[in-house]
Structure formats: structure tokens, C-alpha cells
A and B are shown apart, each in its own frame.
Chain A
Amino acid sequence: MTKELEALFWELKMDFLNAIILLLNYIFVPALSYGSQLALGAIFVSLIYGILRFAYFTAGDLMSFGTMFTILFTWYFQSLGIGLGFLPTALIAIPFGIIVTIFYVLLKDKLVFSYYRTKKSPPVMLAMVSIGTMFVTQAIVRIIIGPFDRRFFDGEKFIIRANEFKEMTGLNEGLAIKSTQVITLFVTIIVVSILFWFLNKTKTGKSMRAYSDNEDLALLSGIDPKKVVMTTWVIAAILATIGGALYGLDKSFKPFTYFNNMLPIFAAAIVGGIGNPFGAFLGGYVIAFSEILLTYAYKKFFVYLLPENLEPEGLLQLLSTDYKFAVSFSILVVVLLFRPSGIFKGKVL
């Protein structure tokens, strides 16, 4: 009797573990890495909104610009035979990509944005101008590298393969963790901690926050607006390149997808409370998790959890995966309706 009971418990436990692993494998791990990539983008959009005070429509294309140069440098290093062994070569190319991107945004600021800033044009005007730069950036990227799908990942692809995991644990469900996902998470944690340390502890960071809170007061207290603006652009370029390169490593690089990513990034920035970098950081995860949670088919999950006679018939999918983008936008609309300043209280717009 006890043995039978034990066997039953064992089976129940295994079923439960299987269900958990299933969720980890298909929801948690992918959402965490996608969310990190969105978060990096959302932070810089939010920063630009807070400090330069306009919606930066070039966001997605700036990411693709940075990624493009990272790819070009990766190819160059590969042709030289430089690599990182099991890590992707792109990691050493990212700093070079960042330098080019910083140069590009500063040039753009000098040629285009500074004129409107000194003239104190309304934010709408600046948003329109950023559409102009969006066209230009898009053209540059397509002319240099073309509109096609490119993969530039090399090195070890998986940290744990699904089969290995199954053998290790004896479970039915495998857990595959790609190295790019781990890299994404690590890099994001490092970059974001440095960024928040910079914003909260250093003098330049504090002056940036002061400038964002109240421009006139900040100017009165002797903060150099040029320095603040320049730092913002530099941070934007760094985050855009890193976020874009990580996304490209994880999936693949295609200029059109990057342009489209602008939309969930904006959604993340607004959901988190625009102008509030920490909110944007969390907003990235909110968007990523809700996109994946709402479009995942839960049938298998419930097959494990429920007794056999209660097994569900349909796919138990709340929305088909085609509506992935629509989910994040609907969240945005709901947030706009009920909390216009975002979940984490950004600026009231």
C-alpha cells in the first residue's frame, strides 16, 4: 500500500516538475532574454524623452545601425582569425560598434537636432525631425549591409541542450538554454547596474537627472546643458548598440525587424513611465512576458498537471502567436487609459 502511494507521489512530483520545466523552457527563459533586449532599448528611449524631451522615432534604426557595425567588425575579426573560443566573436566587436555609433549620433545631433534645441522648438517638431533621421539611418543601413537576414553568431550555441538536460534529470521535458540567452542576461545586468550607478551616484548622472526634472532650475545651478545632452546621446548609442547586437545574436539581424522593434520598445518605455529609466527597464520585461504568456499554448502544461480524465481538448491558447505585437500594444492602450503616467510613475503627458 505504502509503496503504491509512494509511486503515485513520485509520479505526481515528476508531473509537477515537468510542468515547471515546460514553462521555464518555453516562457521564462525566452521572455527573460527578449525582455532584456527590449529593456535596453526602452531605457534609452526613456532617457532621450526625459532629457531631450521628444519621442525618438529613430530608436529601432539606431539599434540596427549599431548592430550593423558590430557585424562588420565581427566579420573583420573573423577574417583575421581573432575569436573568443566558445563565446561569440561579436562580443569583442561590440565596443568598436559602439564607438562608430557614438560618433554617428553626435554628428546627427550637431547637424540636425542641436538647431531645434537652441531654437526651443516644440517636441512635436523634434519628433518629426527624428522621423527624417529615421529615413536616413534606414537608408544607410540598407545601402551598406542590405536588407537581408544575417546571422553572425559563432562559438558554442547551447549551454544546456534539451537532450542533455533530460538525461541529467530523468524528466520528460528538456530545458535548453542558449548561450546567447545567458550572455544577454549577464550583459544586461552589468550594463544596467553601471547605468543606474552612473545616474544615481556620479555628478554627471545627477546633473542629468536634475536637468530632466527641471531644466530651468538645473541651468540656474550651473549645469552645462551641452554636457548633459552629449552624455545622453553617448548613453543612447551604447545601449542601442548593445541591445541591438544582443538581439541580433539571439535571433538574427534584419533591418526591417529592428525597425518594427521600435514599437514594443516604445510600448515598454511608456508602460514603465516615460522619462523614468528604471520604469522602462521593468517595462521591457512586462511587455516581453505578457507577449509570451498570452500567446503560449498551455495544453501540454495542463496535460501534466491535471488528471487524465480532465485533460483539455483545445490548445488553451489565449491568443494566436500572430497577435504577439498586438498584445504589447493592447497593454499600452490599457495603461494609457488607466494610468497615463505609466506603471512606475514617469512624467504625466
Chain B
Amino acid sequence: MRNNLDVIAAYSIMLGLIILVGFLQSWSIALSILCLCLISAVMTIGANIQWGYAGLINFGIMGYTALGGLAAVLVSAPPVEEAWRAGGLNILLCAFIIFSMIFIIRLIIKKFSKLKNRNYIIAAIIIVGIILLRLISAPAIESIEAVNPATTGFLGGMGLPIIFSWIVGAFFAGGLAYVIGKIALGLRADYLAIATLLISEIVIAVIKHEDWLSRGVKNVIGLKRPVPYEIDLQGKEWFINLVQKFHQGSLNLISDNLEKQQALKQLVIESSTVFVKLCFAGLFTAVVIALLIVTQKALYSPWGRMMRAIRDNEEAANAMGKNVVKQHLLIFVLGSAIVGIAGAMLVTYDGLFTPGSYRPMRYTFLIWVMVIVGGSGNNFGAILGGFAVWFLWIEAAPIALFLINFFTSGLDETNALKVHLIDSIPYFRFLMMGIGLLLIMRYRPKGILPEKIKRV
């Protein structure tokens, strides 16, 4: 218990801050901060597995998040039958061609490794395959995108409950990570960082511009929720009764019956958004706790010890007979899969998929700031980092406004400098993140909650 005092203290401060926002601003804002904090926490768990456990730098977090989001669309959006009739067959044929290309190339690499002009044959297969794909897919894509372009214009999804997409997203992201890992994991650390960063940009480019798959920059809106809608709640008897019970005291103060009804209605509307967000927060908390339990178990298992050994001294671990390449690939896939879950959760929470919003600052570098500030190698630290940094990211604007007003209080309201500073408030969050990261790296390089290694 005493060992964990700092963890408990840090988390209570964090929760206290969120509750403070609830009292000062509104409970709806506080809960949406909490929800996004929880999603960020899932992302940081994923990044922390890769960086903290194994020392792999993955700057492709944005790509996996987007793939998770794509999974949410493909699982939950209703299928567009007309589009399937228009070009579904060709698309399936293309998928088949891609798979057979991969299969043939693998076969050639495995079985005919001594063939002289093997590389030329592989190149020829790829070129022929791409030409074939273009010929088959071009008319299909055109006709799919022509189907009702204002509302659909894509193949749609499977129409399943969106919650399944959390698992599908994990598989998507893990699959991508497997491919990237095969290509890039042999590189030295900062080279891997650049390679993954660039590959994630490619993923975003594909999602943005393949309209038949994801509607691209036209966005997919109105995805189904796993929790009730506000409108439905407001009509439900039990919910109104619940709200009435909850606010009994304040309602009783109003004597006029009509006014009482009005106040109750207002309260029901307000509490319905809070209730929805509470449901989300509950779901997300369950995911975070489940992941935390699993990762903690893994960290203190023989496997976790092996990962730390590989991280701290690759050569020694190799000499002890551990397959470093295989373990690196495994952890790369696992971490990315967790990030994929977070991506699907994010789209679930928003109810919409906007490929244009995936930017490396927000989805890659910010997550890294979270992991490093929180404490890499320590799951509690990484989650705390997710909470603290997201909290600051959102609350940076009010804080900056307060500071600017404080320091320029001597100046006139219409002073050009003051007006300019107040106009640029949104950018102070970058400044805070940067300075925060630099300070932490300088004075507490292991993060707020540093890694603790139990010695037996």
C-alpha cells in the first residue's frame, strides 16, 4: 500500500480536477473530458507497451487510430445494397487478386529462393497485378461512388452493433502493424520513428481518398451508438422519475406547478446528455480496467521480464536464446492493436468518422507526450499521462485566457497586443505541451510516475 501512495495521490488529484471542472463549468464538459481521457488512456497503454516495455518507437499511432475508426464504419454503417450490386463483385475480385498476389509472391520467396531473376519475376507480378487491379476496380469504383453520392456513395458496412468494431479495429490495426513490423522493425530507433510516421501518413491518404471504402473527406455521420440517445431518454417514464428523485430538493422549492414542470423538463434535457456520457464513460472505464489488468499481469509475468531484458540489452537477451525479432514484432502488433481499439472507441463516442481530422500533432505526437509525461514503462503512469495531458489540452484555453488577462491587466481592453494574444489563445496549448514535455524530460526524465521494477 505504501509503495502505491504516489499512484493513489496522483489519481485522486486528477479525479479531483475533473470534478472541479464539473462544479465550475458543467458536468457535461467534465464527463466529455473524462471520456476522452479514458480513450487517450487506451492509446497510451498501447504506446506504452511498445515504448515502455520494449523500447520500440512507433510514430504511426495516427494510422492505427484511423484504421480503428475505419473499422467502426465498416462494422456499424448500414450496408448500401445498391452500391454492392453496382460494383461489389469487382471489389471482391480485386481483394481476391491482392490476396493471390501476396500468396504467389510469398510462395516464390519461400520455395524458389535460389532462382536467379527472382526479383524481376516478383516485380513483374506486382506490375501486372496493379494494372489488372486498376482495370477491374476503376469502373466499379466509379459506379459505387455514383450511387446516391450525397448520402452514401460507398459500400457501407455490415450493419452490426458498433461495439464489435472495437475488436475488429484491433485486428485491423494489428494486421497493419504486422506488415509494417515486417518491413521496418530492423531499423534503428529513430529511423523506425520516421518510417512509421510516414507510413501512417500513407494510411491516412488512402482512407481520405478511397471514397468507395470510407466516403473519404465527405465523412460518415450518424453511426449507431451502443448507448441510448438523448431524445429517447427524454421520453422515457423511468428516466423522468429518476431525474425527479435526484432533484427532489430543488424541485420542491418551486411552488408553482407549471414552473415546476418547466424546470423538470429543463433538468431532464440536461441530465439526458450527462446520462449518455456517463454510459460512455462506464463502457470506456471497463475497457481501460480490463486492459490495465491484462497489461499489468503481462508486465510482471516471465514474458514481461523478458521484454524488459530485450529492451535494456538486446544482445544479451539474444545470447540467452530469446528471439528478439519475433518478440519485437509481437509487441509491435499487440501495442498497435490496442491503439486500434482506441480508434474505434473514439469514432463510437463521436458517432462520426472524419478522415480529414486525423493529424499527426493530435494523434501521434500528443500521445507520445502523454506516455513520456506520465511515465513510460509504468502502466499507471501512462494512463495518468493520458488523463493529465488531455485535461491540460482541453483546459489550456481557459488557463491561457486567465494568464493573459492577469499579465496584461494594466493594458487597455482594445490594446492591439492584448487583442492579438486573446485571438491566439487556441495555440497556447501547443506552447504548454511543448514546455511541459521539455520540463519533464529535463527534470523528471522517467515521467510523473516512474517505472518500478520489483526485484525478487
User: Which residues from chain A sit less than 8 Å from chain B, CB to CB?
Assistant: 54-55, 112, 115, 122-125, 127-129, 131-140, 142-143, 146-147, 259, 263, 266-267, 270, 274, 314, 320, 322-323, 325-326, 328-330, 332-333, 336-337, 340, 349
Binds A, one of B160-168, B192-200, B322-330, B379-387: B192-200
Judged by a CB distance under 8 angstroms, whether B104 is at the interface is no
Closest to B190 in A: A55
* A329, B360: Cα distance in complex, Å: 15
* A349, B445: Cα distance in complex, Å: 25
A88 nearest CB across to chain B (Å): 26
B272 nearest CB across to chain A (Å): 36
**For residue B201, which residues in chain A have a CB less than 8 angstroms away from its CB?**
263, 325-326, 329
B194 lies within 8 A of A333 (CB): no
* A135, B440: Cα distance in complex, Å: 14
**For residue B7, which residues in chain A have a CB less than 8 angstroms away from its CB?**
none
Please pick, from B193, B208, B365, B442, the residue contacting A135 in the complex, using a CB distance under 8 A: B365
A209 nearest CB across to chain B (Å): 21
Please pick, from A131, A136, A147, A337, the residue contacting B365 in the complex, using a CB distance under 8 A: A131
B205 lies within 8 A of A323 (CB): yes
* A139, B188: Cα distance in complex, Å: 30
Judged by a CB distance under 8 angstroms, whether B239 is at the interface is no
**For residue B438, which residues in chain A have a CB less than 8 angstroms away from its CB?**
112, 129, 132-133, 136
Q: With A147-B427, A323-B209, A332-B195 in contact, do A135 and B433 touch (Cβ < 8 Å)?
A: yes
**For residue B423, which residues in chain A have a CB less than 8 angstroms away from its CB?**
146
A133 lies within 8 A of B434 (CB): yes
Q: Chain B interface residue count: which class?
A: 35 or more
* A270, B195: Cα distance in complex, Å: 10
With most chain A CB atoms within 10 A of its CB, the pick from B187, B191, B198, B202 is: B198
Judged by a CB distance under 8 angstroms, whether B20 is at the interface is no
**For residue A55, which residues in chain B have a CB less than 8 angstroms away from its CB?**
190-191, 193-194
Judged by a CB distance under 8 angstroms, whether B189 is at the interface is yes
* A333, B57: Cα distance in complex, Å: 17
Judged by a CB distance under 8 angstroms, whether B424 is at the interface is yes
* A146, B202: Cα distance in complex, Å: 28
Q: With A124-B190, A270-B191 in contact, do A142 and B365 touch (Cβ < 8 Å)?
A: no
A349 lies within 8 A of B191 (CB): yes
B428 lies within 8 A of A131 (CB): no
A270 nearest CB across to chain B (Å): 7
* A8, B424: Cα distance in complex, Å: 65
* A135, B429: Cα distance in complex, Å: 9
Judged by a CB distance under 8 angstroms, whether B184 is at the interface is yes
**For residue A323, which residues in chain B have a CB less than 8 angstroms away from its CB?**
205, 209
B199 lies within 8 A of A333 (CB): yes
B434 lies within 8 A of A134 (CB): yes
Given A325-B201, A329-B199, 11 more contacts at CB 8 Å?
A: A112-B438, A123-B190, A139-B430, A139-B431, A143-B424, A325-B202, A329-B201, A336-B184, A340-B187, A349-B187, A349-B188
**Smallest CB-CB A-B distances: 8 pairs:** A135-B434, A136-B434, A139-B431, A139-B430, A142-B427, A329-B198, A132-B437, A322-B209
Judged by a CB distance under 8 angstroms, whether B435 is at the interface is yes
Query: Could you write out 11 A-B pairs with CB less than 8 Å apart?
Result: A124-B193, A128-B441, A132-B438, A135-B369, A136-B430, A146-B423, A274-B191, A323-B209, A326-B201, A336-B187, A337-B183
B435 nearest CB across to chain A (Å): 6
**For residue B184, which residues in chain A have a CB less than 8 angstroms away from its CB?**
333, 336
**For residue B186, which residues in chain A have a CB less than 8 angstroms away from its CB?**
340
**For residue A147, which residues in chain B have a CB less than 8 angstroms away from its CB?**
427
B66 nearest CB across to chain A (Å): 14
Q: Mark B425-456, 1 if CB is under 8 A from A, else 0.
A: 00111110111011001100100000000000
Closest to B217 in A: A322
**For residue B208, which residues in chain A have a CB less than 8 angstroms away from its CB?**
322
A-B pairs under 8 A by CB, number: 124
**For residue A136, which residues in chain B have a CB less than 8 angstroms away from its CB?**
430-431, 434-435, 438
With most chain A CB atoms within 10 A of its CB, the pick from B184, B194, B365, B441 is: B194
Q: Mark B14-58, 1 if CB is under 8 A from A, else 0.
A: 000000000000000000000000000000000000000000010
* A322, B209: Cα distance in complex, Å: 7
**For residue A270, which residues in chain B have a CB less than 8 angstroms away from its CB?**
191, 194
Please pick, from B198, B361, B424, the residue contacting A146 in the complex, using a CB distance under 8 A: B424
Q: With A125-B441, A322-B208, A340-B187 in contact, do A259 and B361 touch (Cβ < 8 Å)?
A: yes
**For residue B372, which residues in chain A have a CB less than 8 angstroms away from its CB?**
128
A135 lies within 8 A of B427 (CB): no
Please pick, from A124, A131, A140, the residue contacting B431 in the complex, using a CB distance under 8 A: A140
Judged by a CB distance under 8 angstroms, whether B206 is at the interface is yes
Judged by a CB distance under 8 angstroms, whether B368 is at the interface is yes
Q: With A54-B190, A124-B190 in contact, do A322 and B205 touch (Cβ < 8 Å)?
A: yes
**For residue A263, which residues in chain B have a CB less than 8 angstroms away from its CB?**
197-198, 201
Judged by a CB distance under 8 angstroms, whether B291 is at the interface is no
Judged by a CB distance under 8 angstroms, whether B421 is at the interface is yes
Closest to B200 in A: A329
* A336, B188: Cα distance in complex, Å: 11
Q: With A322-B205, A333-B195 in contact, do A115 and B442 touch (Cβ < 8 Å)?
A: yes
CB contacts under 8 Å to A, within B159-188, are 183-184, 186-188
A336 lies within 8 A of B183 (CB): yes
With most chain B CB atoms within 10 A of its CB, the pick from A124, A128, A259, A328 is: A128
Q: With A135-B365, A142-B427, A323-B209 in contact, do A329 and B434 touch (Cβ < 8 Å)?
A: no
Q: With A124-B57, A326-B206 in contact, do A333 and B430 touch (Cβ < 8 Å)?
A: no
**For residue A336, which residues in chain B have a CB less than 8 angstroms away from its CB?**
183-184, 187, 191, 195
B368 nearest CB across to chain A (Å): 7
Closest to B366 in A: A135
Closest to B51 in A: A124
* A333, B183: Cα distance in complex, Å: 8
Closest to A136 in B: B434
* A328, B423: Cα distance in complex, Å: 37
* A348, B188: Cα distance in complex, Å: 9
Q: With A332-B198, A333-B183 in contact, do A131 and B57 touch (Cβ < 8 Å)?
A: no
Please pick, from A129, A333, A340, the residue contacting B198 in the complex, using a CB distance under 8 A: A333
A160 nearest CB across to chain B (Å): 34
